[in-house]
């Protein structure tokens, strides 16, 4: 594996949500921006089996295209975290099928051995326990972009996979320990107060830099994101995309930080997904008409 560049690079592309256009954009970004990897643990946001069109989880089509692009030169494993709410969430999202089609191995992070690491930030020591493979092997994070209402992007995806938590101290500590070698942020669908088919991707070699760059897309300044402060709140430009232009295209509706009802579009989307796949609908989505 080659060393990552000292200065983080961020590159963006417009992309379709599936098909050859998406695969081509992903392949281009990997060729343009990714470090040389002999192996890679690919970690998507699959914390809950929302339909990908909600923007609340990574689009599995992006992950599949990424696995295929990386597999040209690396041994690729899909590293799939547990969900604290729904058993087998990655399977419900179709990642077993992704593994079958691409030939990638899968790793259940919840079953892996763990290691304890100490991280020092702001003169405080934080102890974090993470799956050993995330500490020992090269990691490629594949987050979605969501603000609900706080930013959830690369560093939150890493923390949820490593610790099952998105508390600020856990995000800071887990991101420092895991430190992904490459990030491909999936903006094919986004959630910034409402779902949107945004059709973009952002690749980078530094997770905090990616999150700083996309925070304004989600309607936030980096200094408003607590977990970013220990890593700096300056903002890098995205080659090929303008964050302000993307932000102007997205809805920025107020969400309920105290956990109000889930927007109906999410329930409708998942019920449709469940009908197509035959998967069990989580209890949050069982109300309403059978549409």
Percent of the chain with pLDDT over 70: 85
Give the residue-averaged pLDDT of 30-52.
Answer: 95
> Per the domain annotation, does 87 fall within a domain?
yes
> What pLDDT is attached to residue 86?
84
> Per the domain annotation, does 226 fall within a domain?
yes
Selected residue with higher pLDDT from 188 and 278: 188
> Per the domain annotation, does 277 fall within a domain?
yes
CA distance 84 to 258: 19
Q: Is the pLDDT score of 83 beyond 90?
A: no
> Per the domain annotation, does 235 fall within a domain?
yes
Structural domain including 229 reads 10-285
pTM exceeds cut of 0.85:
yes
> Per the domain annotation, does 3 fall within a domain?
no
Which band of pLDDT confidence, cut at 50, 70 and 90, is reported for residue 278?
low
CB 141 within 8 A of CB 154: yes
> Per the domain annotation, does 2 fall within a domain?
no
Q: Can you name the residues that pair with 141 across neighbouring β-strands?
A: 43, 183
> What pLDDT is attached to residue 271?
53
The CATH number covering residue 90 comes to 3.40.50
Please state the domain count of the chain: 1
Q: Is the pLDDT score of 261 beyond 70?
A: no
Give strand ranges (E) for 112-252: 114-121, 124-131, 139-142, 144-147, 151-152, 182-192, 195-196, 200-204
* DSSP code per residue over 67-134: HHHHTTTSEEEEEE---SSSTTHHHHTTHHHHHHHHT-EEEEGGGS-EEEEEEEETTEEEEEEEEHHH
Burial class (CB in 10 A: 0-12, 13-18, 19+), 142: buried
Q: Is the pLDDT score of 254 beyond 80?
A: no
> Per the domain annotation, does 40 fall within a domain?
yes
Q: Is the pLDDT score of 277 beyond 80?
A: no
* pLDDT tens, residue by residue, 106-148: 999 999 999 999 998 777 898 999 999 999 999 999 999 999 7
> Per the domain annotation, does 4 fall within a domain?
no
């Amino acid at each position: 594996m080659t060393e990552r560049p000292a200065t983080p690079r961020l590159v963006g592309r417009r992309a379709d949500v599936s098909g050859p256009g998406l695969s081509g954009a992903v392949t281009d970004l990997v060729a343009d921006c990714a470090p040389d990897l002999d192996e890679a643990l690919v970690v998507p946001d699959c914390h809950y089996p929302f339909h990908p069109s909600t923007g609340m989880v990574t689009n599995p089509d992006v992950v599949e295209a990424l696995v295929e692009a990386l597999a040209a030169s690396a041994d690729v494993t899909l590293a799939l975290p547990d969900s604290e709410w729904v058993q087998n969430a990655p399977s419900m999202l179709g990642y077993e099928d992704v593994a079958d089609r691409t030939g990638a191995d899968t790793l259940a992070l919840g079953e892996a051995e763990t290691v304890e690491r100490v991280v020092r930030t702001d003169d405080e020591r934080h102890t974090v326990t993470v799956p050993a493979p995330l500490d020992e092997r090269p990691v490629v994070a594949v987050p979605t972009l969501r603000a609900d209402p706080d930013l959830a992007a690369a560093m939150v995806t890493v923390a949820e996979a490593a610790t099952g938590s998105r508390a600020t101290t856990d995000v800071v500590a887990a991101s420092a320990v895991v430190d992904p070698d490459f990030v491909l942020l999936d903006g094919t669908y986004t959630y910034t107060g409402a779902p949107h088919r945004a059709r973009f991707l952002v690749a980078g070699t530094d997770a905090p830099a990616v999150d700083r760059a996309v925070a304004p897309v989600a309607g936030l300044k980096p200094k408003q994101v607590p977990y970013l402060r220990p890593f700096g709140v300056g903002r890098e430009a995205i080659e090929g995309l303008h964050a302000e232009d993307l932000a102007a295209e997205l809805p920025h509706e107020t969400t309920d930080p105290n956990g109000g009802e889930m927007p109906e579009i999410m329930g409708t989307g998942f019920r449709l997904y469940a009908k197509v796949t035959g998967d069990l609908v989580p209890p949050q989505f069982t109300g309403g008409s059978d549409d």
